[in-house]
Structure 1
């Protein structure tokens, strides 16, 4: 196999063999040369080469004329993380950037990179963040950039990214979470509106005509009393990280990211108080959440001072929040149906927030107190009322959350009693 490859490619004066159609099998079969290094050119993507040295290490290189001079752009070591398909994808992106007269800076030597860093999304991001620091949603914007935009486009020349690339990127996110896809596109578009006057070669905002997922229908799903009680028992058997985290969602009514990304320093056990900083709150306003006795006990059980800063870390990584939400939710939904013994309409983690708000209203809690618990700046707390009404209902929030915790406990006891009764009936 190796001999056939070598025979099919004669060495050129530059040290590169003549072109052939690269495949994974051919790359894996390549043997190191006796001295120096050898490059094999790909016939599918112009300029793409696989380089192999005497050590046997194989690296992808893209050779392209930029500004009248040839440049060898190292894409990275051939591995499971950088297979042939990914190297071709990176090469096409760089070639596209060059066509838009942007410098391909992802892997250039440092001296060249310093002259052209201003073109990349990574390089522009700090300036954009500083310019928008006063925005109420800057914390959410930063999370979206770090989680979605920068990993995908950070090393790309900002004036070479096309609307079709952005459309495919947004479509991929929309397959999982349509709402997040719309947010990502909106934040990326705002970034390009800011960047447009700073990039002479940028013809227009590529996000403006990119595909936008349709606005999802507003949800009204509220878990029934029977579902709440049964869910509590399912969560008791789920274990960390999702069991305790979803219990906190149900008992406090806070947002998913506010719970799953919470840090230990936010919790004051002596005062039974959870302070969500403005940088993490969706509306940018710091939020005080009084902890009911069950929440306080739950948080105490989660605090472990021998590990990282996260209250609910990922399994095996104390410095990061949990992942794998889709699998966990599918498992929990299935367990809930099995426990109830009948189909359960689809529900999401955000529906727990609506369920708690509805439960507070059922318990007779005033609307403005419910909105204070949820940290809403809408309805009774928006507009001119929100400007002049500075009462934060702290004592009322504590009473409301304590009442809701008692209600969840009541529903859990009722679900346990019903389950026990059915088991006895089945045995008799």
Structure 2
């Protein structure tokens, strides 16, 4: 991971912000690349993902590390403008690898968020909510009864992000 963090830090701001936002949120590559200014509510602290793989809108609470990226990206944009306009989601991994990152896919970042959450004993329902996954077909309890919103995942998401940041800090210090 240390080589990944160092390589990403060396990238231009847009690519660096995109990869770091993916790492902080576990969003799918297209979900992140399609975020528009109007989808970011910095006052309410919500990031809306209107179009997802499951066709249902998804939202995440905005944590402080996310806020830093989102404020920078939103600064001068019109409401309909994409935060990462012009960025090639498929090309950004190649850029990071040329800068020294080990070979990886954008989906690996999503898996990392899930794995860190599991290691921190974050429950499956919370992890599904963070990642925007639907419950399993036969999971009646979570499919029909349990409803979790952004506020329900705020603390677990902060824990996951803090664990990732600690790893990054340890890598820089060694």
- TM-score exceeds 0.5: yes
Q: TM-score, normalised to structure 1's length?
A: 0.38
Matched, 1:273 2:37: no
Length, aligned pairs only: 173
Q: 1:331 aligns with which of 57, 80, 95?
A: 95
Question: Partners of 1:416 and 1:402 in 2: how far apart?
Answer: 21
Q: Secondary structure at the match of 1:270?
A: coil
Question: Partners of 1:323 and 1:288 in 2: how far apart?
Answer: 23
The aligned residue for residue 350 of structure 1 is 107
Q: 1:311 aligns with which of 77, 83, 89?
A: 83
Whether the aligned pair in 2 keeps the contact of 1:241 and 1:313 (CA below 8 Å) is no
Q: Which has the higher contact order (CA 8 A, sep 6+)?
A: 2
Q: Say if 1:330 and 1:306 are closer, same or farther in 2 by CA, change over 3 A.
A: closer
Q: TM-score, normalised to structure 2's length?
A: 0.88
Question: Partners of 1:352 and 1:242 in 2: how far apart?
Answer: 14
Whether the aligned pair in 2 keeps the contact of 1:275 and 1:289 (CA below 8 Å) is yes
| Structure 2, unaligned runs of 5 or more | none
Whether the aligned pair in 2 keeps the contact of 1:264 and 1:310 (CA below 8 Å) is yes
Q: Secondary structure at the match of 1:356?
A: helix
The aligned residue for residue 246 of structure 1 is 19
The aligned residue for residue 67 of structure 2 is 296
Deviations 1:157-198 (A, max 9, x none): xxxxxxxxxxxxxxxxxxxxxxxxxxxxxxxxxxxxxxxxxx
Q: What is the root-mean-square deviation of aligned Cα atoms in Å?
A: 2.1
Q: Say if 1:369 and 1:313 are closer, same or farther in 2 by CA, change over 3 A.
A: same
The aligned residue for residue 54 of structure 2 is 283
Q: Say if 1:251 and 1:306 are closer, same or farther in 2 by CA, change over 3 A.
A: closer
Question: Partners of 1:373 and 1:323 in 2: how far apart?
Answer: 24
Give the number of the structure whose alpha-carbon radius of gyration is greater. 1
Matched, 1:396 2:152: yes
